[in-house]
Amino acid sequence: MSEQAIVVFKPSGRVIEVQVGTLLSDAAVRAGIDIAMPCGGQGRCGRCLVQVEYGEVARKPSTHLSSADVEKGHALACLTVIKGNVVVVVPTKEEVVRRVSVEAKAEKIALPVVCEWQREPGIQKCFVQMEPPSLMDNTNDADRLKRALAVEYDVRDLIVELPMLQELARTLREADWAVTAVLERQNWGPEDLPSRLIGLLPGDCTATSYGLAVDIGTTTVTVYLTDLLTTEVMDIASAYNAQISCGEDVISRIVYAQKGDGLQHLQRLIIKTINELLAELASRNRIDLREMNEMVVAGNTTMIHLFLGLDPMYIRVEPYIPTVNLPPPVLASELGISINPHASVDCIPGVGAYVGGDISAGVLSSRLFQTDKLTLFIDVGTNGEIVLGNNDWLICCACSAGPAFEGAGVRYGMRATAGAIEDVWINRETLEPRYQTIGNLPPRGICGSGMIALLAEMFVAGVLDKRGKVRRDLPTARVRTGQHGGEYVVVWADETTIGKDIVLSEVDVENLIRTKAAIYAGFSVLVRNVGLNLADVEQVLIGGSFGRYINVEKAIQIGLLPDMPWDRFKYLGNTSALGAYTTLLCSDMRRQVVEIAGKMTYLELSADNSFYEEFMSAMFLPHTDEASFPSVALALESRHD
């Protein structure tokens, strides 16, 4: 008779007796405990996370569980075997959600800590108590202030522009000559320029100082409210870029900008989006908007052009020329950003039409520019921007991947919003799918990570052949011939909120393959261009908010990412916002990011003959060259076991 074990589930307190060797997930099902298992207990989604508080279990290995997680007692219920009496804590649904968001926030905030940089914000607040003027000392107001700042803070050659002068006489006297001067160091350039006076506050206001790091994505805008004294991120707010109403991708925005006052309209929309986020942050943290004294902005080249009111027209047409790569600092008042009107808004420099400041920011925050490992950095969004290099050299390109992963060109594709299918698992035998939607709502469509998962599952389960064609001879009603050729039904109409079967057709598959092929060809061309092979790459850093949700295993299975050990891949989250944050806090990093943008060699793929060849080779699942994808070959073999 096999050994029995007692399992206690917390916080419900439910107790069940099971055989030793039972899976924790099976025990939970039998005890009536609701554990999320969207992959159907195949050990592939990582959502059935629990904590083993007491007792012995055996965990099967999983990419979703780090050794640190194991030390904390974490376990995936479907991959954990009960070895004796145990106490298991099952997080509530709210806890799962909170944990995910707290981790995301922790990741964002913690990452820069590992960077090797001095925190030295560009904003300096100096309190000075001056002697009032007299007939014996009748220096003018501006020089009196400068003198005090020179004596007490060693500030030299302070620049005091007209708008500040216009308030000076009154403020000094109302404050009885005790004021806090807000100074901005102008240190984007190679040399140290004099500081600029951007605020003058009565009394001692040196106890607080705030700055903002902004990532303007084509889809999402994210703002980090930063305490410039502790250098910590105090709060994060994000929202859709209101420009979406004028086009979902950069190309359609550029087209929109050509119509009438389209450019001005797009500029107003992004300023509005940012101002709304600022108002939210100010209200939530009880900070006066005028106390925010600096803003650093990262974004792709088109987003930055629209933000600054620069005509993006020539970004779109060959030979793809932006107006500027390193935009000059601009005053908040010039743009209508509702912070201290004298504050500077600095845009992180880009490299070219399709490798923007968001990528320079990514290279900065990912520390790619400091590592001696050969590193591939990828930011997957509308386009895939790729950087290869190390602390010595950097080469980059942009693959005109198209917005398939963002939902365009795929019939049931959608952005990653509530009701989007974000992960899919297809049973190898029954070919029945299980899926996970954002917000656990009834499905409306499929977002980027869902498409990658679905494509990989369909391929590995044998629904698709290597050319991306649907096998018609399969014993399931889910595979059928539709308007766009063969298709696979992920969700039947009655389970959806749209009242239609959600399918992936051969046409959709072709678009997705085209996209992933462009990105993979980008990797190949970059690596070949410097005389190396993909196998020489020591690490792959994945940035961009989309990147955070990519399942590496599945991305390799479709040939989007190169086949290498999973531990070489690192998710970095929103590297663009992090780069803006880093730049905001450190003048040395500010100079570094200018240097990074300047030293990145931009490879224009449309001018590179080998790109088309590599692209065609990648138009298969996973690739023409199957030998480059050994792990995929293994997975396909195991299917037939």
Task: Please list, in sequence order, all residues whose beta carbon lies within 8 angstroms of the beta carbon of residue 245, skipping any fewer than 6 positions away.
Answer: 269
Least Cβ distance, residue 348 to a second copy (angstroms) = 15
Does the footprint of a second copy cover residue 106 (CB under 8 A)? no
Q: Which is nearer to a second copy, 67 or 134 (CB)?
A: 134
DSSP letter for each residue of 181-239? EEEE---SSSS-PPPEEEEEEES--TT--EEEEEEE-SSEEEEEEEETTT--EEEEEEE
Nearest to 227 by CA among 178, 281, 298: 281
How far from 466 is each of 216, 285, 405, CA to CA, in Å?
37, 53, 20
Options 92-100, 104-112, 322-330, 415-423: segment touching a second copy (CB under 8 A): 322-330
Q: How many C-beta atoms lie closer than 10 Å to residue 536's C-beta?
A: 11
Does the footprint of a second copy cover residue 334 (CB under 8 A)? yes
Q: Which is nearer to a second copy, 255 or 326 (CB)?
A: 326
Q: Which is nearer to a second copy, 346 or 614 (CB)?
A: 346
- Which residue from 91, 309, 482, 485 is in contact with a second copy, where contact means CB under 8 A? 309
- The span from the CA of 80 to the CA of 25, in Å, is 8
Q: How many C-beta atoms lie closer than 10 Å to residue 116's C-beta?
A: 8
Task: Please list, in sequence order, all residues whose beta carbon lies within 8 angstroms of the beta carbon of residue 265, skipping any fewer than 6 positions away.
Answer: 246, 256
Least Cβ distance, residue 344 to a second copy (angstroms) = 12
Does the footprint of a second copy cover residue 136 (CB under 8 A)? yes
Q: Residues 554-593: x/- map of binding to a second copy (CB under 8 A)?
A: ----------------------------------------
> Would you say 607 and 251 are in contact if contact means Cβ atoms under 8 Å apart?
no
Does the footprint of a second copy cover residue 314 (CB under 8 A)? yes
- The span from the CA of 272 to the CA of 411, in Å, is 31
* # chain residues binding a second copy, by CB under 8 A: 47
- The span from the CA of 392 to the CA of 372, in Å, is 8
Q: Which residue carries 């046409």 as its tokens?
A: 507
- Which residue from 2, 67, 118, 134 is in contact with a second copy, where contact means CB under 8 A? 134
Does the footprint of a second copy cover residue 168 (CB under 8 A)? yes
Options 63-71, 139-147, 227-235, 367-375: segment touching a second copy (CB under 8 A): 139-147
Q: Which is nearer to a second copy, 49 or 332 (CB)?
A: 332
3-state secondary structure at position 84? coil
> Would you say 53 and 88 are in contact if contact means Cβ atoms under 8 Å apart?
yes
Three-state helix/strand/coil letters over 313-362: HHHHCCCCCCCCCCCCCEEHHHHCCCCCCCCEEEECCCCCCCCCHHHHHH
- The span from the CA of 583 to the CA of 595, in Å, is 12
Does the footprint of a second copy cover residue 274 (CB under 8 A)? no
Q: Which of residues 347-406 bind a second copy (CB under 8 A)?
A: 352-353
Does the footprint of a second copy cover residue 473 (CB under 8 A)? no
Q: Which of residues 491-510 bind a second copy (CB under 8 A)?
A: none
Nearest to 195 by CA among 180, 210, 182, 185: 185
DSSP character for 473? Answer: T
Least Cβ distance, residue 337 to a second copy (angstroms) = 13
- Which residue from 232, 235, 280, 604 is in contact with a second copy, where contact means CB under 8 A? 604
Does the footprint of a second copy cover residue 427 (CB under 8 A)? no
Least Cβ distance, residue 166 to a second copy (angstroms) = 6
- Which residue from 17, 103, 318, 432 is in contact with a second copy, where contact means CB under 8 A? 318
Least Cβ distance, residue 265 to a second copy (angstroms) = 15
Does the footprint of a second copy cover residue 159 (CB under 8 A)? yes
Q: Which is nearer to a second copy, 331 or 374 (CB)?
A: 331
Does the footprint of a second copy cover residue 319 (CB under 8 A)? yes
Q: How many C-beta atoms lie closer than 10 Å to residue 565's C-beta?
A: 7
What does residue 550 show for φ and ψ, rounded to 5 degrees? Answer: -75, 130
Does the footprint of a second copy cover residue 160 (CB under 8 A)? yes
Least Cβ distance, residue 128 to a second copy (angstroms) = 17
Does the footprint of a second copy cover residue 543 (CB under 8 A)? no
- Which residue from 41, 122, 327, 384 is in contact with a second copy, where contact means CB under 8 A? 327
Distance of CA 373 to the CA centre of its chain: 22
Q: Which is nearer to a second copy, 185 or 434 (CB)?
A: 185
Does the footprint of a second copy cover residue 324 (CB under 8 A)? yes
Residues that bind a second copy (CB under 8 A): 133-136, 138-143, 157, 159-162, 165-166, 168-170, 173, 189, 308-311, 313-314, 318-328, 330, 334, 352-353, 602, 604, 606-607
